[in-house]
Amino acid sequence: MKEKDELLRQKLELSGQGGGKARIEKHHKGGKLTAHERLNILLDPDSFEEIGALVTHRTKDFGMEKQVYYGDGVVTGYGRINDRLVYVFAQDFTVFGGSLSETHAEKICKVMDLAMKTGAPLIGLNDSGGARIQEGVRSLGGYADIFYRNVLASGVIPQISAIMGPCAGGAVYSPAMTDFTVMVEGTSYMFVTGPNVVKTVTNEEVTFEELGGAHTHATKSGVTHLTADDDVDCLKKIRNLVGYMPQNCEETTPRIQYEIKEEFRDQLASVIPDSAQKPYDMKEIIKGVADDNSFMEIHPEYADNIIVGFARLAGRSIGIVGNQPLSLAGVLDVASSKKGARFVRFCDCFNIPLLVLVDVPGFLPGTDQEWNAIITNGAKLLYAFSEATVPRVTLITRKAYGGAYDVMNSKHIGADMNFAWPSAEIAVMGAKGASEIIFKKEINEAADPIAKLKEKEDEYAEKFANPYSAAERGFIDEVIFPRETRRKLIKAFSMLQNKVAHLPKKKHGNIPL
């Protein structure tokens, strides 16, 4: 009994700090908080309950029986964020570099199983040197046990990964299979093979930061959805993110109290420039339709020709996908199609209605795009929208050209309400390109080909550079004025809130991955 009391005393003193004072100091000096400190910031005050604080590793090889730390390098349990239940694990780098042993993995799996049984989000704070080298295949098996659960949980409960230190080798595949990843600038990195292996195999010289730092993954690979300045910023961003999500796939999105007022927004009337060639910032439109300060952008630095993120509309969470005319004229390309598709699928998994803002001149031409499979990747976005059964509302602000018109949540692929501003142009292509093709002969034979082209351009624009042909056919439900957009959207989403739609019975579809 006395022995057990002693164990409990040690647990209280050492849980999550098994590495001892010196290691914690080193950890702090490197700009990192400990596992417990992180959980205290992530969770509501006094809400954390630890599970498995007395777990120790079982290995006796390599003198490991002499180094036993309670908790075994990971702190697991449950707590609350804004009074909603979440499950958590936080790897403790001060114990064997946060490396994953058989028992460390068992602890993570235990909270994953509880999260699934009770239908609550799982948040993992990753800070680990990877597989516990002394444990060999037992550690690899532990990773696979986690990967398997990540997949089973996908689409059932939201899963969020913070990368707050090293995350290398096969270990990266757990965050990769969760819904959102947030990386801390300067202290975190992710890669499958590190700089030394890269140098040996490809002779490239690259630093940890260049190869897999937060900035790299936010801008080049898109592996991370968000970056954070430091640990505190990262944990606050996760708290905010969770606020837009339901607890699981059977719940509707959280709603905060909102009283509908006069919802006109005059500033929207002046966003679209006079010239169709001039860019504007689609975020101005988002600001004008969403509740004040409610927009949280996801993937802000990657493929910024498309914008994705969460917002609230009259207090209700929605997902927004919008072309961004400020970047590459808002064209769809490989990266933006993948980014958009992934976000649409997340929203559809978790009953988050979708608002799609369209100003798209088409798909990006070029060998780079074709050889990098714009066909397959563009199809991802088309597929994701087509199979989404959540309420789907579209607003065409300006261009909706070619195949991109179809892809961007058109009526034809199942959108519920399609609005257009009077400035919308819905056509196979822009008036100039179209006239050059269909009136080629007439233009070439004209005494003044330039004047003829202009005349034909005007003729084409008159017919198609407006939303009315589409509205006559019902492809657009209503042409609305910019200032009344927010009001119309609130009404449309409210009308759609009890939408029920089922896909044909199947095991699962075969999205072009």
Torsion on CA atoms 125, 130, 136, 140, rounded to nearest 10? 60
Q: Is 130 in the site for ligand HXC (CB under 6 A)?
A: yes
Let me know if 186 is a catalytic residue. Answer: no
Q: Is 16 in the site for ligand HXC (CB under 6 A)?
A: no
Between CA 374 and CA 444 the distance in angstroms is 34
Q: Which amino acid is located at 35 in the chain? A: A
Q: Are 416 and 499 in contact (CB under 8 A)?
A: yes
| Catalytic entry in 186, 403, 414, 433 | 403
Nearer to ligand HXC, 140 or 156 (CB): 140
Helix or strand holding residue 84 (H, E): strand 84-91
Least spacing, CB of residue 224 vs ligand HXC, in Å:
18
Let me know if 404 is a catalytic residue. Answer: yes
Where in 494-513 is the site for ligand HXC (CB under 6 A)?
none
Q: Is 428 in the site for ligand HXC (CB under 6 A)?
A: no
Whose structure tokens read 């049984």?
117
Provide the token pair at 508.
């699962």
Buried b (16+ CB within 10 A) or exposed e, 9-47: eeeeebbbbbbeeebbeebeeeebbbbbbbbbebbeeeb
Angle between helices 231-242 and 35-42 in degrees, nearest 10: 40
Q: Are 135 and 57 in contact (CB under 8 A)?
A: yes
Classify residue 498 by burial, with Cβ atoms within 10 Å: 0-12, 13-18, 19+.
exposed
Let me know if 168 is a catalytic residue. Answer: no
Nearer to ligand HXC, 168 or 357 (CB): 168
- DSSP alpha helix (H) spans, 263-420: 282-289, 334-349, 367-371, 374-387, 402-407
| Catalytic entry in 30, 31, 141, 170 | 170
- Of 417, 354, 421, nearest to 389 by C-alpha is 354
Q: Which amino acid is located at 451 in the chain? A: A
| Stretch of 91-99, 110-118, 153-161, 216-224 contacting ligand HXC, by CB under 6 A | 91-99
3-state secondary structure of 269: helix
Show the site string, 168-187: x = touches ligand HXC by CB under 6 A, - = not.
xxxx----------------
Query: Looking at 87, 89, 96, 464, which residue binds ligand HXC (CB under 6 A)?
Result: 96
Secondary structure letter of residue 64 according to DSSP: G
| Stretch of 46-54, 132-140, 282-290, 446-454 contacting ligand HXC, by CB under 6 A | 132-140
| Stretch of 33-41, 94-102, 152-160, 496-504 contacting ligand HXC, by CB under 6 A | 94-102
Least spacing, CB of residue 94 vs ligand HXC, in Å:
8
Q: Is 133 in the site for ligand HXC (CB under 6 A)?
A: yes
Nearer to ligand HXC, 134 or 466 (CB): 134
| Catalytic entry in 303, 379, 404, 465 | 404
Classify residue 208 by burial, with Cβ atoms within 10 Å: 0-12, 13-18, 19+.
middle
The number of residues in the chain equals 513
Q: Largest Cα–Cα distance in the chain?
A: 105
Q: Is 198 in the site for ligand HXC (CB under 6 A)?
A: no
Q: Is 138 in the site for ligand HXC (CB under 6 A)?
A: no
Query: Looking at 70, 87, 143, 191, which residue binds ligand HXC (CB under 6 A)?
Result: 143
Q: Is 166 in the site for ligand HXC (CB under 6 A)?
A: yes
Let me know if 169 is a catalytic residue. Answer: yes
Least spacing, CB of residue 216 vs ligand HXC, in Å:
16
Q: Are 302 and 222 in contact (CB under 8 A)?
A: yes
| Catalytic entry in 169, 212, 322, 430 | 169
Nearer to ligand HXC, 140 or 496 (CB): 140
Least spacing, CB of residue 166 vs ligand HXC, in Å:
4
List residues near ligand HXC by CB under 6 A. 96-97, 99, 129-133, 140, 143, 166, 168-171
- The catalytic site residues sit at 169-170, 403-404
